[in-house]
Amino acid sequence: MANCPICKKNSKHPDYRPFCSKRCSDVDLQRWLGGVYVLPGEPVDDLSQDDREDG
């Protein structure tokens, strides 16, 4: 069984896998929403006018 990526406890609860609880799941979501986790790519400011949706 895998360990929770947030608190490292055993992830037994199937509803929250890979996390061990709703709390750890929410911590992970907040990290994504807060910009702690990022995916590599071009910065938005470097896109040409043709690549922008609003243009």
Does 47 reside within a domain?
Answer: no
Residue 7 counted as domain residue:
yes
Total-model pTM: 0.66
* Number of structural domains the chain divides into: 1
CATH of the domain at 15: 3.30.50.10
pLDDT-based confidence at residue 48 (cuts at 50, 70, 90): low
**Burial of 33 by CB count in 10 Å (0-12 exposed, 13-18 middle, 19+ buried)?**
exposed
For residue 41, being part of any structural domain is answered with no
Which domain does 4 fall in, by range? 1-34
- For residue 53, give the DSSP letter: T
The two tokens of residue 21 are 């609880």
pLDDT beyond 80 at 8: yes
- pLDDT of 29 above 60: yes
